[in-house]
Structure 1
Amino acid sequence: MMDGNIEDIERRANALDLAVIGGGPAGLTAAYELLKHAPEKSVQVFEASGKLGGISRTEDHKGFRFDIGGHRFFTKVEEVNEMWHEILTDDFIRVPRSSRIYYRGKFYDYPLKIFNALGNIGAYEAARIMASYAKWKVNPNRDEKSFEDWVINRFGGRLYMHFFRSYTEKVWGIPPREIEADWAAQRIKNLSLTKAIWNAISGANDTASLIEEFDYPRLGPGMMWERCGEIIEEKGGNVFMYAPVQKLIRKGNRIVALETKQKDAVTGEVVTNRVEAKNFVNSMGLKDLINCIEPAPPQHVLDAAAKLKYRDFLIVTLVLNTPDPFRDNWIYIHSDDVKVARIQNFRAWSQEMVPNDTQASIGMEYFCQEGDGLWDSSDEDLKELASVEIERLGLAKKTDVVDGAIIRQPKAYPVYDTEYKDAVAVIEAWMNSMENLQTVGRNGLHRYNNQDHSMLSAMYAARNILGASHDLWSVNVERSYHEEFQRKDTKKEPALAS
C-alpha cells in the first residue's frame, strides 16, 4: 500500500478510469471487480485511515487480534461468495455458531432451545407470552410504522417487552417506537414466534440470521481486505492510505476531480492532492459525501443530508489472565444493569486470534454517540467500566483483567429513524442525476446492509462503468435477504470477461 507519493499519483491522474473513496468492503470490491473484468483500467482507492476493511477490519494489540463487531462470512449471493474464496482461497476456517442472550441474570440459548427457554422463563410466564401473542395476532397494529409495531405484530407485546425493547434502545439510543419498521423487516426478516418455537422443537433452522455455522478468515475479517488491497495493486491499481477525500469537484452533472490531503512519502510534507478521473465510486457516509461536493448540491439536498444520523460504537478488548470464560462467539446483554450490549470471545471465532492458550481475549461492545460521556471517557476509565461489568455479569473476575485496548468507531450504523427514509429518497433522486458518481455500501447508501450486500452494490457499480444498468439503491430491497434471495439476471448487462 502507498502512503502517498504525490508525484506518483499526479503522473497517473490524467489517465485514471476510476477513483474509489474508502477502503472498506464496498470500496475495495468496486476496485477489485473493475480490474477483474477490465484489467486495462486504471484504478485508485483512497482510504482515510491506516487500515483497510472499514468496520470489517481486524485490529491488533500485542498479538491479540479482534474484530470491530464480529463478522460472519455467510451469503447466498453467489458472486459475493465466489469473490471471498477467490481472495482468501484456503485461509477460511469453518466456525460453529454459538451465542446466547443474558436476561435477568440467566442465559438463554440463541437460537431458542425450548427446554432452556422454559426452564429460565417458567411455565407461567411462557403462557402469558403465548396469550399476548394470540391477542396481537387477532388484533394487530394495522399500520406498521415503527420497529415496535413490527415486532409486536409477530411476537406479541410481552415477548417484545422481555427481549426486544431494552436491547434495541441500548443499541440505538432512541425508543423503538422512533425506529422505522424497515430496520426490523431487514434484520429479522422471515422470523416469527411460531417459527422460532417450531425451530426450537424440531431442530429446524430455516432463518438466515440463525445459521449454525459460517466461514471465517483464520486471522479475522481484516485478512480478507488486506489481501484484497494487495491483489488490487498486483493488478496495477493503487491503494493510498491516510488519504482522506475532502472535496469532490463538480461541473454540472459530472464529478471531474477529488481532492485529498496526503503526507508525501518522500518529503513528509502534507499537501492537497487533486486527482482527476472519469468515474467515481463513493463508500463514505452519504451525509459526508453530499457535504464535500463543490459546487454544493441544491439546498433541499443539503437539508436532507443534515437529517441523516449515525450510531457510533466502541469496543473494549480485555485480556484475561485465565482461560476463556465462556464458549460463545458472542453474548447479547439484555440487561439495564450494565451498559455493555454485546460480548465477544475472540478465540471462539478463531484460535489464531489469541496468541497463547493461557489467556483469553474478550470484546466488550458499547453503543454510544461521538462526543457523549461514554465516547469521551478515558481509555483507563473504559477498561475499568468493562472490568467491573464483566464481573457483575458473572463471566470473569475483575482481578482476572491484565490488559486491554480501546477502539472507537464513528458512524458504525446508519440510523433508521422517522426522518431517514424521506431524506434518503431526496438524495437518491439527486444522485441519479449525476453521470459518473455512484455511492455504495452501508454508509454510502445509508442502509444497514450486511457485508455481502454492501459488496454486491459495489460489484454493480463496477459493472455499470462497463455498460450495465443496475439500480444500486434497490440492493437488499427488491432482492430480499439470504433465505429468499434468488439471483436475477439484468437484461442490460453485457457479457463480462473473467
Structure 2
Amino acid sequence: MKTKYLIIGAGPTGLGAAHRLKELGEADFLVLERNPHAGGLAASFRDDNGFTWDIGGHVVFSHYDYFDALMDSLLGCERLEHQRESWIRTNRTWVPYPFQNNIRHLPKAARWECVEGLLPGNRPDTPPENFAQWIDAVFGRGIARHFMDPYNFKVWATPPELMQFGWIGERVSVVDLKKVLRNIILERDDVGWGPNNTFKFPLKGGTGEIFRRLADRLADRIKYDQSVNRIDAQSKTVTTEQGLTVGYEALLNTAPLDILARDWLTDAPDAMVDAAGRLTHNSVYVAGVGLDMEPDAVPDPRCWMYFPESDSPFYRVTNFHNYSPNNTAKPGEQAAFMCETSFSEHKPENVHELMDRTVQGLVNSALLRGDRVDDILTRWEMAVDYGYPVPCLARDKALNVLQPGLEAMGIQSRGRFGGWKYEVSNMDHSVMQGVEWAERMVSGTPEKTYTLD
C-alpha cells in the first residue's frame, strides 16, 4: 500500500502530526503503531483492582496556544487543575521544592553546609565542562552533596560527570545566595518556581485518556500491532514485522532514533550507525501501590516527592490519588502511590526485586506505615526500556550527524526519543513537534520547537 505521509508511532508526537494533517485538509496519511493502543509513554492502564496508572508522573502544562486549545477540545471540563505541591525527602525530613530555595527546613548542620558552599570563593569559577562541574559551580558542594548529585544520579541512572548541562534551560532552578539567606532568616518558603507550578490532569482515565480521545479522531488512519523493522529510504518503503509494506512520500519517525539508524535503515552510512551508538538512555520501572485510606487519616496534599537518598530505590513518588480521585477504585477512599526507579549499565537494578524494595522504601520514607504493608490492595508494575534520553556528552555531536543524514534521505525524526532532546520532551513539546512537522510538510512553515542546530 502507499500513502503520502507515513508516521511511525501513535504517541503524542505522531498523533499531533496526524491530527494537524487532518486539520490542514490532508487525508492521505497513515500511522503505524507497534502496540495495540495509542499514547506511547503517555499511555495509562487500569489494573485488575480498578486503579489507573500512568507510565511515570505526567502533568499537563503548556507553552503553546495550539496545545491549550487542543486540550480544551479533547477534555473540555473533564479535567482538574492543581497547584503543585512537591517536596524532597532528605536528612530524615521534608524540604519544599525547589530544594535550593528552601534549605531552612534542613537540620542545622546540613543547612550550614549548604550555605557555606554558596559563600564567595567556595564555588569553582572555571567554566564547567560537564553537568557535575556545573552543579558545583552553581550550587556549591553542600547543595550538591545533599540533593543535586544523588538525585540526578538516581533519576538519570548516569553519573553527572558523563552528562552535558546545555539542556538545563527552565528545568532546574538556579540559586540566589541573597534569597537563600533571606528565606532562612525570615523563615519563608519559596515554592512557586517553574513552568509546572500549576497543572491540569484528566478527570478520568489518567494521562492516556488525552491520547485515547485524540486517537479516536484518527481511528481510520492508525494501524495498531505493526512493529517496524525495515526502512528503505531509497525506495521510500517501510516494512513491519507483521509483513505490511507501505510506500510513502514523506516519513516522520517518533520511535527511538538509535533504533531507526542502527537497526531499521537499510544501507545506513557507517557514520550514522556510529553516531547512533553514542546516544544513551535510561530505563524506568514504575510501581503502583494502592490501598485504602484510614478513616481518620489527615489528607496528604502533596502532588509528588523527590528522593535523593539510598533508603529507597525510587527517585520520585506521585500521590496519584491527588491528581484525580478517579485514579483509584474507590474515589476519595483510597491512596495510590506511583513510584519511579531508573536503571542502566551505570545503575543496574534487579527489576524482579523492585516491587518489594519499593514498598520498603515507602515505609522508610514515612509514606507508608510498616503495619499497613499487609493492607496493600494492588501492586502494579511496568518496566520500560526507553525511559529518558540522557543528555550525555556525546549527544549533540551524534545528533549533528544523525538528523542531517536523515533529512538528506527525506526522513524527519521527532519526539522524546525520535528527537532525543530532553529539553523539548514535555508533553506539549512532543505534541507540537508533530504539529510543526505537519505544517512544514504541507505549507513549508519552519519548525520552531525542534531545530537542527
Structure 1 and Structure 2 fold alike (TM over 0.5)? yes
Aligned to 1:354: 328
**Which residue in 2 is equivalent to 1:25?**
12
User: Using a 3 Å threshold, how does the CA distance of structure 1 residues 276 and 366 change in structure 2: closer, same or farther?
Assistant: same
Tell me which moved more, 321-330 or 81-90: 321-330
Aligned to 1:161: 145
Structure 2, unmatched stretches of 5+, are: none
Name the residue aligned to 2:56.
Answer: 69
Secondary structure in 2 aligned to 1:184?
A: coil
2:379 match: 404
**Pairing of 1:106-117 with structure 2 (within 5 A):** 106-111=93-98, 117=103
SS in 2 for 1:405: strand
Q: Which runs of 5+ in 1 are unaligned?
A: 1-12, 263-271, 479-498
Listed one character per residue, the Cα deviations across residues 382-404 of structure 1 (whole Å, up to 9, x for unaligned) are: 33222222112222132232321
User: Normalising by structure 2, what TM-score?
Assistant: 0.89
The one-letter amino acid paired with 1:275 is: V
374 and 205 in structure 1: CA distance in 2 versus 1, 3 angstrom threshold: closer
- Name the aligned partner's letter for residue 361 of structure 2: E
Q: How many aligned positions are there? A: 439
> What is the Cα-based RMSD across aligned positions, in Å?
2.7
Q: Which amino acid aligns with 1:414?
A: P
Task: Check whether the contact 2:20–2:438 (CA below 8 A) recurs between aligned residues.
Answer: yes
In 2, are the aligned partners of 1:108 and 1:120 still within 8 Å (CA)?
A: yes
SS of alignment partner, residue 287 of structure 1:
helix
Separation (CA, whole Å) in 1 of partners of 2:262 and 2:105: 54
Is the 8 Å Cα contact of residues 347 and 361 (structure 1) preserved in structure 2?
A: yes
The answer on whether the counterparts of 1:72 and 1:216 sit within 8 Å (CA) in structure 2 is: yes
Distance 1:293 1:318, change over 3 A: closer
Residue 184 in 1 paired to residue 155 in 2?
Answer: no
Is 1:339 the counterpart of 2:318? The answer is: no
Deviation at residue 171 of structure 1 after TM alignment: 1.7
Give the aligned residue type for 1:416: P
| Paired residues for 1:4-83 under 5 Å | 13-14=1-2, 16-38=3-25, 40-62=26-48, 63-83=50-70
Supply the distance in 1 between the matched residues of 2:389 and 2:179 (Cα, whole angstroms): 28
Q: CA deviation at 1:113?
A: 9.9
Cα distance in structure 2, aligned partners of 1:349 and 1:334: 23
Q: Which amino acid aligns with 2:211?
A: W
Aligned to 1:465: 441
The structural deviation recorded for 1:198 is 8.8
Match of 1:250 in 2: 233
Q: In structure 1, what residue type is equivalent to 2:412?
A: Q
Q: Distance in 2 between matches of 1:428 and 1:99?
A: 37
**1:241-320 aligned within 5 A:** 241-251=224-234, 256-262=236-242, 272-320=243-291
Give, as a single letter, the amino acid of the residue that structure 1 aligns with 2:77. Answer: D
CA distance in 2 between partners of 1:282 and 1:218 (Å): 31
Cα deviation digits, residues 396-420 of structure 1 (max 9, x gap): 1322323211111111111122222
Would the alpha carbon gap of residues 159 and 382 (structure 1) be closer, same or farther in structure 2, given more than 3 Å must change?
A: closer
Answering whether residue 117 of structure 2 is matched by residue 132 of structure 1, we say: yes
Distance 1:371 1:139, change over 3 A: closer
Cα pair distance change 1:301/1:368, threshold 3 Å: same
Query: 1:152-203, CA deviations, whole angstroms, 9 ceiling, x for partnerless residues?
Result: 2222221111110111111222321111112334621x63234864996777
Distance 2:362 2:265 in 1: 48
Distance 1:370 1:142, change over 3 A: closer
Is 2:416 the partner of 1:416?
no
Contact 2:37 2:224 in 1 (8 A): yes
- Taking structure 1 as reference, are residues 33 and 197 closer, same or farther at Cα in structure 2, changes over 3 Å only? farther
1:305 to partner: Cα distance: 0.6
2:411 counterpart of 1:454: no
**Aligned-residue offset at 1:34:** 0.8
Q: CA deviation at 1:376?
A: 4.3
Q: Give the SS at the match of 1:409.
A: strand
- The 1-side partners of 2:30 and 2:143 are apart by 50
* Contact 1:307/1:420 (<8 A) preserved: yes
Q: Is the 8 A contact 1:312 1:370 kept in 2?
A: no
> Given residue 359 of structure 1, which amino acid in structure 2 is its aligned partner?
Q
**Which whole-Å CA distance do the structure 2 matches of 1:212 and 1:196 have between them?**
19
Q: Deviation string for 1:339-390 (max 9, x for gaps)?
A: 121111111101111121433221121111389863542xxx4332222221
Equivalent residues of 1:218, 1:350 under 8 A apart = yes
Partners of 1:205 and 1:343 in 2: how far apart?
Answer: 18
Distance 1:370 1:459, change over 3 A: farther
| 2:132 paired residue number | 148
- 2:158 touches 2:344 (CA, 8 Å); kept in 1? no
The C-alpha deviation readout for 1:111-161, integer Å capped at 9, x for no partner, is 4697x7424332x5434423321235x864432221122222222221111
Q: 1:470, 1:243 → 2: CA distance?
A: 30
Q: Is the 8 A contact 2:440 2:446 kept in 1?
A: yes
SS of 1:208 mapped into structure 2: coil
User: Structure 2 CA distance, aligned partners of 1:95 and 1:206?
Assistant: 13
Q: Aligned equivalents of 1:309 and 1:104: distance in 2? A: 32
State the SS of the aligned residue for 2:275: helix
Q: Residues 158-237 of structure 1: matches in 2 within 5 Å?
A: 158-185=142-169, 187-188=171-172, 191-194=174-177, 197=180, 207-209=193-195, 211-219=196-204, 220-233=206-219, 237=220
Q: Say if 2:123 and 2:138, in contact at 8 Å, map to a contact too.
A: no
Q: State the 1:206 CA deviation.
A: 6.5
Q: Is 1:427 paired with 2:410?
A: no
CA contact (8 A) 2:123 2:140 kept: no
Shift of 1:217: 1.3
CA contact (8 A) 2:123 2:136 kept: no
1:121–1:371 CA distance, 2 compared to 1 (3 A): closer
Distance 1:214 1:41, change over 3 A: same
Distance in 2 between residues matched to 1:86 and 1:383, nearest whole Å = 38
CA distance in 1, matches of 2:178, 2:231: 49
| Amino acid in structure 1 at the alignment position of 2:324 | S
